[in-house]
Each structure stands twice: as C-alpha cells, then as structure tokens.
Amino acid sequence: MSMVCLLLFSSAALPASADGKADAYHYSFYGDAVPAPAAYEATMIITGKKLNISAFKEPSDMHVTEDERVYVLDSGNGRIVELDRNFKLVRTIDSFINEGKKDQFKNPQGLFVTGKGNILVADSDNHRVVHLDDKGELVKIVAEPKSDLLKEDFQFKPIRIVMDKGDRIYVMAEGVFDGFMEFSADGVFSSFIGANRVQVDPVEYLWKRLATREQRSQMVMFTPTEFTNLDMDEEGFIYATSGDRGKDPIKKLNAQGTDILRREGYSAPQGDLRYMNESGPSRLIDVDVGDSDMYSVLDSNKGRIFTYNGDGYLLHIFGGIGNRIGLFNTPVALERAGDRMLVLDKALGEITVFQTTEYGRTLHDAVRSYYNGEEDKSSQLFAKAAEMNANLEYAYAGIGKALLRQKQYAESVEYFKQSMERKGYSKAFLLYRKELMREHFSWVMSGIFLAVAAFVTVVIVRRQRRRTTNAGIK
C-alpha cells in the first residue's frame, strides 16, 4: 500500500458544476483513480440567516436523529440549534438551569442526541459533559472524573461524545491516548476502551536503543494516536476515526474495545489511496454510520466524503475543497438524513445539503437488498449500477455474492472473475466443483466400477490363458 501512496494523484479540488454535481472518481482493483458518476448532488445551503437567527459562529458538530431532526452545535455562540426534517427552525438552547441558577455552555465541541431526545454536550472549556432531557432541562453533569487510571494532574476536556442504549457514555477527551473514556449511566468513570496501538518506526526504534539518555529525551515518544471522532450504530458498536494515517484509521469497536471492522475490499478503508507528497494523505475527522452497515468518513484535508459498505468496499466519493456549491472551506462534521447527506462547514458557518442521485440511490438500494437477503433484487440493482458506471468493479462482486447465496455457483464464478474478487471466486469455484462432483457422482462411480471390473476381468482372462498355454506345453 505504501508503494501505491507514493504514486502521484491530483490533489486539486474537484470542479463543480452550477447544479452542485462535482466530478467524481473511484478506485479500481489496481488502485487507479477512475471516473465515476456523482452519487450525491448539493441542493441547498443552510445558514443562521436563512433560519432567521444570528449567523453560526464556528459550529463544530451536529447530530441527526432517526426521525431526521437536525441538531447543530453552534460553538462560537454557545448554543444548540434544532431543525425539523424540512430544515425549519424548531428552537435554540443556549442555557439551562443548574442548581437554581442559569448556566451556559463555553466553547462546546461535541453533541449527541439519543432516540428519546436526550441531549449530551461535550462542554469543552467548562471541562464537563452536560446531559439535558428532551425539554432542555438538566439531567446530570459529568465533570472531572476521579480514578486510579487517571493521572493526578489530569484535566478533563471532552471533545466528542456518544451514549448507548444502556445510558453508558463514551467520551473522546483531549490529550487522552488510552482510548475513549467510558462512564456508567450515573456518570461515574469506569474504564478506557479501544486504545489505538502504538505506531513504531523500526529505524527510529533502533536509533533510540543506541542513543544516549540526552538524545532520547529530545526524541518523540512512542505514544498511541488520538482518535478524532466516533459514532455509534444501532447495535451499540462504536465506529471511530484517527487523524494519523497509521494502520487502520477507521475502527469498529465492540464492547471489549476490540476492532471488528471488516476490511475485505480491494484496499482497507482509509480515504484516498493516492496523493501528492506536499498535500499528504487523507485526515479522517468524522464518521457517520448509516443503515445496512454502510458508513461514511470525512477527510478534512481534501474535503471529501468516502462511503463504504460493511465488508469494506468503497462505494463512492464526493465533495472537495473550493468556493462553489458542493465544495467546502473547513468541513468538520457529516450526518446522514435519509437519502440526504449533511456536511457542516466550520469556517463558513453553514450546512451543505446533498441529495442522492439516481446512481447513488441504485447503489445504496443494491447494498440494502443484499444486506436484507433479497438476492434477486440486489443482483438486478447491482447490474443497473454497473450499467451506469462501467468502472464499478464492486457491482460485479455484489452480483457474484448474491448469486452465491442463491447457490448459482457457476454464474457466481464468472461475476467474481470480472470483479477481480479472489476470495469470493475461490469460494464459489470450490462450491461449484463440489456441486459438479455431487451431480456426476453416480456416473463417475459407475465408470470407476466398470473400469475396475473390466481391469479385473482382463487380468483374470490373461492368467487363465497363461495357465492353459503352460499346460499344453507340458
């Protein structure tokens, strides 16, 4: 993979047309960037002015609920702005009552809303997590956790936050390299979960072994990489991103903190495969988990959004840095709202709303159909997607997988061959060979039996002739 990354790939922002459609691309089996239809098109911009409130000031996060209500964390103004599914203003929350007094947020950075409408805010500069109910009234405050696992001088500064269905809170805190901080339902710190592994340069490690104490003191310490964001799916698994290219910048963590993300695609999910040295690789700063195990990640470096299916196959790429609709200045968060994708721009103080194109809807529906076990429908939709994008090798793999589930092994082998999906091809070919053996077993065994019988008969006849000949000579 490192060889691929050294190859040049244009880092310029993708041009956008007046209707918000950006020139899109995809990566082939060989890691080449190839043209692709746009999966999303920008349809509108949401600003504070359009909502008849003061302008957003350095907004840092947002959250979309299952019923597509949109919550924006307007950090610079210390408020939460709630919109309905049609992006109409519902309310703003800029304060709450705490022990009989009015309390406010101070540079909050993270936001999460539960299915019941409870709002959790990473109130960063106040060094606390604020938990409000659906009416905006205080439920509890989580501040300055105490534990033997924390240093004596530890300062709690939450940046991102999620809550599971058991009301456990997971916090990404500034300066914490041990993973996410887990708090019980009553707000007590219990443990860390999912720490990134230390990335060690072998040459630097050897040099440190040979260096003097003074030289080692001036070198960079081997420390785990900080996470940049997290999201939680319906089953309670945490999806997390790391800004460092490193190994596996996207993770899916189970309750024990083990990474269980599937990476069965042509390359591991990581953003751009090719880039120019001066611009550097993708820096993933947000992740959004959708239905059917699909998830999207945001690259702050190039302003691009990459979407993958549950097996780790890249579905599509869109977005970029620029000054036209569909492009961004400083993207910081993304959320899915039905067939729409929302991207929050911190510098411009606006939300860009994207709607799926026919190509995007077809591809998503194909993935959903396969996920739900609707093999016939998924095969048809993958075939339709392949007609729209001849460079989408994954579509042929999708057809192959659907046929494999239907036990149509011979056809499955051919589609896996077209998609260059070796693992699927090997499995389908093995099952196809077994099927052939079962179908022709009786004929094969009969043939073997007859061949053996004929051989035995010939041997017996020849022996009998020798005996008769030898008897005549005597």
Query: Could you tell me what percent of the chain has a pLDDT over 70?
Result: 76
Instruction: Please give the structure tokens belonging to residue 120.
Output: 């959790």
- Using CB atoms within 10 Å of the CB of residue 61, give its burial: 0 to 12 exposed, 13 to 18 middle, 19+ buried: buried
Instruction: Please give the structure tokens belonging to residue 418.
Output: 């077209």
pLDDT, tens only, 179-235: 999 999 999 999 999 887 645 445 444 544 555 555 444 444 334 568 999 999 999
> Is residue 69's pLDDT more than 90?
yes
CA distances from 171 to 142, 260, 398 (A): 11, 20, 37
Model confidence band, residue 425 (pLDDT cutoffs 50, 70, 90): very low
pLDDT, tens only, 352-372: 999 999 999 999 999 999 899
> Residue range 335-342: average pLDDT?
96
Least trusted range by pLDDT, from 99-103, 293-297, 467-471? 467-471
> Is residue 335's pLDDT more than 60?
yes
> Is residue 387's pLDDT more than 60?
yes
pLDDT score recorded for residue 191: 93
Query: Could you tell me what percent of the chain has a pLDDT over 90?
Result: 60
pLDDT score recorded for residue 214: 53
For residues 283 and 270, give the distance between their C-alpha atoms in angstroms, rounded to a whole number: 9
238-242: strand order across its sheet: 227-232, 238-242, 250-253
Q: Please state the pTM of the whole predicted model.
A: 0.81
In this structure, the chain runs to a length of 474
> Is residue 11's pLDDT more than 70?
no
For residues 223 and 122, give the distance between their C-alpha atoms in angstroms, rounded to a whole number: 25
pLDDT score recorded for residue 274: 87
- Using CB atoms within 10 Å of the CB of residue 103, give its burial: 0 to 12 exposed, 13 to 18 middle, 19+ buried: middle
> Is residue 4's pLDDT more than 80?
no
For residues 84 and 133, give the distance between their C-alpha atoms in angstroms, rounded to a whole number: 18
Interior CA angle at 336 toward 239 and 69, to 5°? Answer: 115
Rounded to the nearest integer, the mean pLDDT of the chain is 84
For residues 384 and 359, give the distance between their C-alpha atoms in angstroms, rounded to a whole number: 9
Q: Which residues contact 362 (CB under 8 A, 6 or more apart)?
A: 381, 384, 385, 388
For residues 300 and 333, give the distance between their C-alpha atoms in angstroms, rounded to a whole number: 9
CA distances from 139 to 94, 111, 126, 275, 377 (A): 16, 15, 17, 47, 47
> Is residue 122's pLDDT more than 70?
yes
> Is residue 47's pLDDT more than 90?
yes
pLDDT score recorded for residue 375: 82
For residues 81 and 72, give the distance between their C-alpha atoms in angstroms, rounded to a whole number: 5
Instruction: Please identify which residue in the block is written with the tokens 């790939």.
Output: 9
